[in-house]
């Protein structure tokens, strides 16, 4: 066999490796059919040429997201692609429309949040990165569009992440369906809440997984006609019933048995349970405890889950009572009886367990014993009762246990479905199948046989689906596919399930014969299937058999097949439990119909298994399937570990390699015309220079290469297996020749460059030597010039020094004389000034004394007069002001009390300050005394030392014999005197220290007293605060009472024209600060206040004018509402409607009344005007009006009542009752000259507007106006978002260049493509210009315009950036260039719009700008992480940078992304962030909030002048609106 054309020396290939499964290498030699490969790990491998597969050297370093895009679709290519993507945390990969999910074994919350769901909602399949949401979205869209139910099959071995994937699917479907369940819980939450219950009763520990599901689960999410979730149901299939009675080591039985044995003591005592090792159904295995799992906590969690599901406490006790009964039942053993083939209870221990079982099941112990060891046979003549032998009795016991457990599990599923709530009227559903995967252990029994039988069925369904997809692809491309072979596994299914003669049929037949054993069953299999190609008989075993499944050969041990297969409900068991006194147990075994109870039909687990599997397949066949294959990357369950052998085995078991085999049977390599020409256009450049289209060009290239068997579809080229490698080999040859030509030219260039460099070096050397000579001559000349300069400066220095000395002497003499003269002059002026000052002070004192005496006399006179007036008014108003007077009296008392307390506080503060000063003075005195004593001591010590040294010196200098004794005596006396002095000084120091200690103690005592005084002061302060609060409350109450009285008086004055005309005049007097009132020019009423009393006595005269005024006001309001419903336009850039509304409301005093309907009418008018949400002109018009009106209200209205007054204002206003009354009259419209009623009062600028105390309706109107302003703003912003959103989707992806760009016309083609892209950006700019023009035309405040465009640019930033991170084809170099050109259009628009309207909108694009900057920057591998994060992309997070770096690909120059070291550093930082609970989402969130407040509008808008606003024609001539006319100066 000659080697294939595509494998030559130098080819890059994959070869098998015992450690890594497959390893890459390069072919070094070919000998016939032997290939020598130099691998990447340095080894040389010799292998057969058929075991070598070509490697794609041009594959992206990060892999491809769809493995059908691989140039070589084979096992090593698939494995390498998955490994490359897994290293980058890309855990999802497509194979066509099949999703492969590799378990990351770490939390990736950013991949499953709401932002990610929003991105995949409605996106086309394959448009975004592979994701489980994409599969769910395809299923949902197919269900909605086609009206057909869909199913999603999630498969994989234990620990591969099937359950988590199922949760994500349900989360996304709940997000799309969007219906909340009972009590606020979604359907998805209710289904997930049932998981702990099903796991407790349906999961067990197996060899590979501690929590393996031993049943299949099919979750049906039901939808109504509108696509909303209407219900859900859980269907369970294929429960492994035999595990209840038989457990292999080191596996465990179902979790619930161990949980119950770890229950609290009171529960265990109730069920009479002990250690799990005591029970036969549990001690068959040595495994009782799971690592890291506390069964007692799991028991409590299961109880809580049952509560959530809706299982009552009584039902829970009954459930666990049945579980405990099964454990006790397993400990019942039998011995031979006295008769032949009879059995009895073995011993007292078995008798105890039997009675406990009967007690728990609430049935008769004797009946239970008879049901286990006796059988009743009914014949036409008589009823025969026979006993069973011990072996049959054990089988009867196990059959009862399996039946009870199976019925219990079915009851739980039914209860859960009832809790979730099903929709019987649902027409469509999406089912999610979570079922156990293919299993192949060292020892495989009946359970593995059933599981693998299930997976064979599902694999056939999978193969049919894949082949169907292949057919659809070929049909879509209109190519011939009739000769493609379909890979089928029907022969294996016939071997297992065929009737008669299948393995299951033979097993049922063996179970019906009492004398059958596993040896006879195995021999029967050997005889029946000796010639079957899928059945293999092992050589060294008599009871084993091997079946060749799709995933490989599996050897089964037939030792326990017969025992595990037996499953039929014995009539005695049925009757026993139906008669149970426990309603729960009796409900598990309802009475059978009379016909079925009489017929004892044989039943087995294998048959039931086959029927359930058939039902499941029928359900799946009625739906449109979608497949998710979950893969476990390693067995240690840790992240970042990729075990190749483990992955290959799972891909085989999951059928992925089988799907690849189906694809390889047809056309495994498919390339679009563009991709094919881009890769293989170099093979025929002359073809590309022609004017033929892409399809004809591809045909010509393939014909030129001499290939046969390929197909050309409508958009793709389909190549047979091996043809891609052949084309690559020829392409490599062409590129090699081109590379040699380039090398020749480069070498020529390098040689000439070296010659030019040598010549340049010689010239530089000559120049250097000449330079040295010139520098020596220059240095000599420089030294001569320096000597001359030094002499000159020295002579100048000597002369200047002499001059300065003479000048200094003269200046000194002048200074002395001038100073003496100045001092004499200063002394004379000082004396003169002092005399003048004394005279001034004396004259001032005389004048001020005279003025004070006159002032005192005037005040006394005024006080007397005011006292008489106040007494007279007090008598007139005594009845009306009784409550006010009482409150005032209480307030005065409280004020006196506050003043007394304030004085006491100040006195205590003064005492405290004096005490602290005295203490500080004493402490300083003590410190000074101590310091002085220390100085004296040091001086004494120093003096003693000096004298001692002098004495010693004198002794040394004295003659040795003469006057020796007297000197010694004299020195001794000096020393003694000095010592005595030192002792006295020490005594003084000690006494001073004692005094200091006493002072310190006194200081501590003083501090303690000070602290006590401080505490008392704080208590007094708190009391003062409480009293002040009480006074404040009383003042507020008093003020509110005064406000009510004032309003009543104003209404009385307003409604009584006669009283108005007869109101007495007021006298204006000047007031000084000393007379009790600060404000000058206040009007004081000099006559009696009989006005309000007389107006109150004339109700008849008021009714008619009041009615007339109300009708007139109603008419004016109707006219105003009719007017503002029209488009009034603008006057000098100010909205007329807002100004008219404001002036009318202010004139009508609507802000100050307690009840009015004008505000609601205005709000309703605005609401009806903006009902048409798409009319941006109307929205902008009302945005301008509402913002202006709100601005005017913000500067006019203030809260009414005492709460709006400052403390100083309250205190002043309450000082004088007469002052308050006169102030109320001054605030009335009449006292203001009726400026608003007669039309002569005008409104000035906003600074001149008076503030109005607003009542509740006015404040509510302001709040409603604010809400409408925010609503209109949001509508304009959202309309602009809707308008640009479709165009943004076209802007993110640059249009592909035509094949002309593959040759010399690249620049021209790029220009054409750029024009196409810029057209989309110009469409966005056009929309922005249109909205800006509309808002300018309607004079919308620039502040709001800036906010709109800032949020729009933020929206553009979020959409572009998120799309860039989710679509790998967008993270390319050329796409970055196109996006950069598009953003330049937006930047130009910002400059054109000016900063007044664009504001900081351009800064909102910082994320997409920095991401594009990263895409288009050159030499990325040379960039360090610090440069990227600090300089290039400081705004982007590590997660975002990691995503861009791993998805980047250069489609223009073929350069690489950042270095692997930078990628590793990013991954480490991401891991640290996840440990620190930092959000790891790489997507941005669109902010749709309102980015401003009322205060922002008030601060940013310009002043509004409403004086010269022309009223609309509708109300201009109306007499009631004369106040709107501009005032003539």
Give me the active site residues, please. Answer: 158-159, 163, 209, 212-213, 437, 439
**In b/e form, how buried is each residue of 1044-1064, taking b as 16+ CB within 10 angstroms?**
ebbeebbebbbbbeebeeebe
C-alpha separations of 756 from 493, 764, 765, 1474 in Å: 80, 12, 14, 58
The backbone region for 548, taken as left when phi is positive above 0, alpha when psi lies in -120 to 50, beta otherwise, is beta
- Report the number of secondary-structure helices (H) and strands (E) in the chain: 48, 30
Specify the DSSP class assigned to residue 277.
Answer: G
**Dist. CA 912–CA 899, nearest whole Å:** 20
The structure tokens listed for 1435 are 């705004």
862 burial class (0-12, 13-18, 19+ CB within 10 angstroms)? middle
866 burial class (0-12, 13-18, 19+ CB within 10 angstroms)? middle
**Dist. CA 726–CA 680, nearest whole Å:** 11
Q: How far, rounded to the nearest angstrom, does the alpha carbon of residue 1066 sit from its chain's CA centroid?
A: 70
Do residues 225 and 179 lie in contact, with contact meaning Cβ atoms separated by under 8 Å? no
932 burial class (0-12, 13-18, 19+ CB within 10 angstroms)? exposed
DSSP assignment of 508-522 equals HHHHHSTT--HHHHH
Show the CA angle centred on residue 1404, arms to residues 1403 and 1405, nearest 5°.
Answer: 90
C-alpha separations of 57 from 77, 732, 736, 934, 1419 in Å: 11, 11, 14, 92, 21
Do residues 1136 and 1129 lie in contact, with contact meaning Cβ atoms separated by under 8 Å? yes
Sign of CA dihedral 124, 125, 126, 128: positive
- Please measure the distance between the N-terminal and C-terminal CA atoms of the chain and give it in whole angstroms: 114
C-alpha separations of 1079 from 120, 616, 1334, 1461 in Å: 72, 95, 51, 80
**Of 1460, 1292, 1454, nearest in space to 60 by CA:** 1454
Q: At which residue do the structure tokens 């025929």 appear?
A: 684
**Dist. CA 631–CA 161, nearest whole Å:** 8
Cross-strand pairs, 66: 94
Strands 53-54 and 12-17, sheet pairing: antiparallel
**Of 573, 240, 588, nearest in space to 399 by CA:** 573
Do residues 631 and 99 lie in contact, with contact meaning Cβ atoms separated by under 8 Å? no
**Dist. CA 128–CA 633, nearest whole Å:** 24
**Dist. CA 781–CA 74, nearest whole Å:** 85
Cross-strand pairs, 21: 17
**Dist. CA 726–CA 5, nearest whole Å:** 6
**Dist. CA 1399–CA 1390, nearest whole Å:** 8
User: Helix 1342-1366 and helix 1438-1447: axis angle, to 10°?
Assistant: 50
**Dist. CA 1481–CA 1478, nearest whole Å:** 9
């Amino acid at each position: 066999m000659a080697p294939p054309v595509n494998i030559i020396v130098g080819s890059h290939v994959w070869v098998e490796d015992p450690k890594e499964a497959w390893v890459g290498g390069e072919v070094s030699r070919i000998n016939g059919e032997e290939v020598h490969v130099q691998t990447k790990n340095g080894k040389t491998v010799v292998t057969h040429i058929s075991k070598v597969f070509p490697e794609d050297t041009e594959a992206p370093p990060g892999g491809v997201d769809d493995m059908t895009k691989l140039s070589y679709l084979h096992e090593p290519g698939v494995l390498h692609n998955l490994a490359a993507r897994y290293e980058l945390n890309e855990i999802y990969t497509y194979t066509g429309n099949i999703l492969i999910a590799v378990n990351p074994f770490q939390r990736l919350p950013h991949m499953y949040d709401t932002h990610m769901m929003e991105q995949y909602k409605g996106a086309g399949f394959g448009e975004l990165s592979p994701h489980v949401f994409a599969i769910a979205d395809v299923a949902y869209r197919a269900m909605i569009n086609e009206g057909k139910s869909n199913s999603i099959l999630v498969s994989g071995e234990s620990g591969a992440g099937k359950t988590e994937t199922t949760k994500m699917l349900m989360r996304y479907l709940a997000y799309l369906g969007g219906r909340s369940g009972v009590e606020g819980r979604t359907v998805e939450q209710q289904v997930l809440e049932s998981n702990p219950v099903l796991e407790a009763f349906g999961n067990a520990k197996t060899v590979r997984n501690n929590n393996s599901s031993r049943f299949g689960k099919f979750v049906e999410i039901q939808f109504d006609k509108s696509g909303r979730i209407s219900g859900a149901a859980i269907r369970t299939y294929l429960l492994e019933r035999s595990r209840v009675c038989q457990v292999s080591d080191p596996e465990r039985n179902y979790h619930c048995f161990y949980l119950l044995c770890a229950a609290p003591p009171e529960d265990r005592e109730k069920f009479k349970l002990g250690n799990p090792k005591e029970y036969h159904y549990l001690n068959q295995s040595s495994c009782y405890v799971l690592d890291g799992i506390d069964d007692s906590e799991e028991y409590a969690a299961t109880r809580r889950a049952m509560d959530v599901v809706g299982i009552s406490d009584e039902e829970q006790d009954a459930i666990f009572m049945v579980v405990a009964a099964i454990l006790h039942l397993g400990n019942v053993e039998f011995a031979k009886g006295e008769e032949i083939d009879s059995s009895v209870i073995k011993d007292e221990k078995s008798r105890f367990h039997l009675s406990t079982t009967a007690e728990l099941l609430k049935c008769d112990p004797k009946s239970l014993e008879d049901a286990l060891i006796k059988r009743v046979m009914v014949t036409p003549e008589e009823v025969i009762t026979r006993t069973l032998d011990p072996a049959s009795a054990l089988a009867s016991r196990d059959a009862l246990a399996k039946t009870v457990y199976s019925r219990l599990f079915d009851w739980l599923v039914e209860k859960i479905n009832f809790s979730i709530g099903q929709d019987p009227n649902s027409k469509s559903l999406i089912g999610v199948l979570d079922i156990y995967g293919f299993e192949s252990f060292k020892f495989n029994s009946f359970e593995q046989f059933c599981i693998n039988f299930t997976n064979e069925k599902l694999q056939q369904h999978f193969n049919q689906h894949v082949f169907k997809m292949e057919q659809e692809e070929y049909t879509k491309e209109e190519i011939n596919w009739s000769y493609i072979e379909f890979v089928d596994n029907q022969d294996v299914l016939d071997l297992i399930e065929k009737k008669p003669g299948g393995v299951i049929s033979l097993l049922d037949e063996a179970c019906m014969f009492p004398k059958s054993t596993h040896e006879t069953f195995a021999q029967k299999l050997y005889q029946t299937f000796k010639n079957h190609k899928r059945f293999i008989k092992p050589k060294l075993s008599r009871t084993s058999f091997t079946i060749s499944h799709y995933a490989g050969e599996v050897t089964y041990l037939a030792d326990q097949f017969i025992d595990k297969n037996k499953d039929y409900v014995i009539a005695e068991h049925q009757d026993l439990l139906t008669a149970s006194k426990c309603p729960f147990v009796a409900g598990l075994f309802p009475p059978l119909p009379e016909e079925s109870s009489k017929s004892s039909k044989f039943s087995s687990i294998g048959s039931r298994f086959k029927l359930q599997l058939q039902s499941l397949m029928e359900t799946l066949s009625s739906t449109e399937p979608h497949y998710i294959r979950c893969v476990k990357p390693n067995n240690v369950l840790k992240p970042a570990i990729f075990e190749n052998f483990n992955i290959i085995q799972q891909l085989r078991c999951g059928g992925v390699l089988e799907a690849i085999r189906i694809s390889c049977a047809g056309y495994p390599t498919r390339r679009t015309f563009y991709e094919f020409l881009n890769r293989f256009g170099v093979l025929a450049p002359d073809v590309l220079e022609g004017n033929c289209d892409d399809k004809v060009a591809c045909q010509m290239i393939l014909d030129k290469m001499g290939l046969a068997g390929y197909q050309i579809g409508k958009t793709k080229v389909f190549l047979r297996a091996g043809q891609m490698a052949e084309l690559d080999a020829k392409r490599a040859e062409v590129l090699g020749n081109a590379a040699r030509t380039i090398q020749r030219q480069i070498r020529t260039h390098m040689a000439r460059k070296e010659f030019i460099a040598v010549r340049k070096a010689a010239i530089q050397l000559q120049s250097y030597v000449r330079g040295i000579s010139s520098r020596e001559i220059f240095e000599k000349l420089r030294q001569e010039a320096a000597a001359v300069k030094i002499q000159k400066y020295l002579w100048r220095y000597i002369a200047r020094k002499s001059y300065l000395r003479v000048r200094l002497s003269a200046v000194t003499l002048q200074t002395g004389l001038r100073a003496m003269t100045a001092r004499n002059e200063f002394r004379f002026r000082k004396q003169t000034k002092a005399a003048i000052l004394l005279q001034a002070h004396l004259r001032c004192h005389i004048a001020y004394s005279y003025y004070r005496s006159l002032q005192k006399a005037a005040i006394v006179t005024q006080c007397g007069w005011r006292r008489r007036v106040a007494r007279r008014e007090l008598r007139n108003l005594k009845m009306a002001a009784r409550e006010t007077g009482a409150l005032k009296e209480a307030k005065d008392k409280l004020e006196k009390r506050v003043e007394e307390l304030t004085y006491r506080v100040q006195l205590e503060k003064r005492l405290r300050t004096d005490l602290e000063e005295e203490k500080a003075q004493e402490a300083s005195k003590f410190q000074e005394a101590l310091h002085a004593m220390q100085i004296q001591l040091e001086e004494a010590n120093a003096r003693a030392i000096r004298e001692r040294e002098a004495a010693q010196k004198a002794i040394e200098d004295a003659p040795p014999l003469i006057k020796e004794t007297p000197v010694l005596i004299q020195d001794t006396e000096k020393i003694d005197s000095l010592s005595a002095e030192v002792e006295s000084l020490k005594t003084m120091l000690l006494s001073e220290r004692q005094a200091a200690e006493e002072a310190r103690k006194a200081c501590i005592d003083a501090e303690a007293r000070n602290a006590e005084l401080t505490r008392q002061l704080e208590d007094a302060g708190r009391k003062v605060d409480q009293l002040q609060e009480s006074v404040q409350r009383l003042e507020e109450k008093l003020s509110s009472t005064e406000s009510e009285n004032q309003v009543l008086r104003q209404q009385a004055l307003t409604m009584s024209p006669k009283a108005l005309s007869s109101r007495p005049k007021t006298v204006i007097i000047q007031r000084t600060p000393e007379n009790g009132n600060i404000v000058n020019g206040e009007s004081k009423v000099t006559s009696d206040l009989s006005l309000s009393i007389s107006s109150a006595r004339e109700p008849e005269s008021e009714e008619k004018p009041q009615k007339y005024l109300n009708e007139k006001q109603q008419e004016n309001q109707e006219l105003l509402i009719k007017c503002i419903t029209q488009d009034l336009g603008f006057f000098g850039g100010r909205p007329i409607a807002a100004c008219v509304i404001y002036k009318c409301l202010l004139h009508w005093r609507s802000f100050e009344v307690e009840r009015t309907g004008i505000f609601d009418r205005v709000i309703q008018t605005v609401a009806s005007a903006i009902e048409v949400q798409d009319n941006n002109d109307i929205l902008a018009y009302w945005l301008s009006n509402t913002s202006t009106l709100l601005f005017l209200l913000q500067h006019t209205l203030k809260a009414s009542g005492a709460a709006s007054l400052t403390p100083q204002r309250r205190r002043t206003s309450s000082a004088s009752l007469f002052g308050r009354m006169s102030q109320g009259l001054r605030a009335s419209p009449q006292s203001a000259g009726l400026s608003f009623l007669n039309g002569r009062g005008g409104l000035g600028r906003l600074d001149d507007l008076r503030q109005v105390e607003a009542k509740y309706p006015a404040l509510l109107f302001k709040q409603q106006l604010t809400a409408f302003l925010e609503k209109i703003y949001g509508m304009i912003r959202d309309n602009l978002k809707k308008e640009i959103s479709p165009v943004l989707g076209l802007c993110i992806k640059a249009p592909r260049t035509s094949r002309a760009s593959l040759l010399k016309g690249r620049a021209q083609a790029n220009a054409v493509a750029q024009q196409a892209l810029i057209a989309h950006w110009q469409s966005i700019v056009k929309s922005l210009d249109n909205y800006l023009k509309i808002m300018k035309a309607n004079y919308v405040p620039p502040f709001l315009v800036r906010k709109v465009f800032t949020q729009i640019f933020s929206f553009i930033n979020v959409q572009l950036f998120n799309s860039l991170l989710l679509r790998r084809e967008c993270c390319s170099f050329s796409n970055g260039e196109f996006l950069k050109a598009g953003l330049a259009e937006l930047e130009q628009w910002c400059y054109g719009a000016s900063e007044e309207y664009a504001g900081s909108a351009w800064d909102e694009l910082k994320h997409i700008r920095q991401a594009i900057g990263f895409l288009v920057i050159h030499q990325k591998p040379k960039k360090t992480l610090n440069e990227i994060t600090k300089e290039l992309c400081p705004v982007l997070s590590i997660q975002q940078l990691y995503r861009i770096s791993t998805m980047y690909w250069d489609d223009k120059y073929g350069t690489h992304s950042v270095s692997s070291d930078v990628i590793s550093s990013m991954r480490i930082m991401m891991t640290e962030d996840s440990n620190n609970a930092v959000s790891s989402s790489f997507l941005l969130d669109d902010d749709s909030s309102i980015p401003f407040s009322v205060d922002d509008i008030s601060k940013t808008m310009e002043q509004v002048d409403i004086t010269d606003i022309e009223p609309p024609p509708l109300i201009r001539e109306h007499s009631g609106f004369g106040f709107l006319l501009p005032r003539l100066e």
